[in-house]
Amino acid sequence: MTEPKTAEQKTTEKANPDIPLSKAVSIVLKAISDEESRLTEIANSPDYGTTSLECETFTGYRVDVLADSDKVARILLKYQYPFYNTLEKDVPRGMWKELAEMVGVRDVYSVEDL
């Protein structure tokens, strides 16, 4: 599965030094909205499948754990992941902790294939 484009990649394709600020803001807001819509669709589809989470166990091993995509998407939406991801900012630590609790590991580092 190909990685989704980041906001920077999406906006770089349309980069124009003469673009008004309001237009730039609307491009970013659309990217956030598109990602929210995609995650909402996944969250409302219990048959969507599984998502791989990159984790660390309580004994210090790095592992990939499969989790229900709809549950993962709900947690990502709860913590406004589309906003942070589009702006390429760190998401709240609580999101990673909640994902870790859901799958029974010490920590989660990334969500793959969602």
Mean pLDDT of the chain: 89
Indicate whether this model's pTM tops 0.95: no
Torsion region of 64: left, alpha or beta (phi above 0 gives left; psi -120 to 50 gives alpha): beta
**100 - beta bridge partners?**
none
Amino acid at 18: D
CB 112 within 8 A of CB 53: yes
Yes or no: say if 22 and 39 are a contact pair by the CB < 8 Å rule: no
> What is the structure's pLDDT at 1?
44
Determine the Cα–Cα distance for residues 18 and 43; give it in Å rounded to an integer: 38
Residues of the chain below pLDDT 50: 1
pLDDT at 3: 57
Q: What is the pLDDT of residue 95?
A: 97
At residue 83, the pLDDT reads: 95
Residue 114, pLDDT score: 81
Supply the pLDDT for residue 56. 97
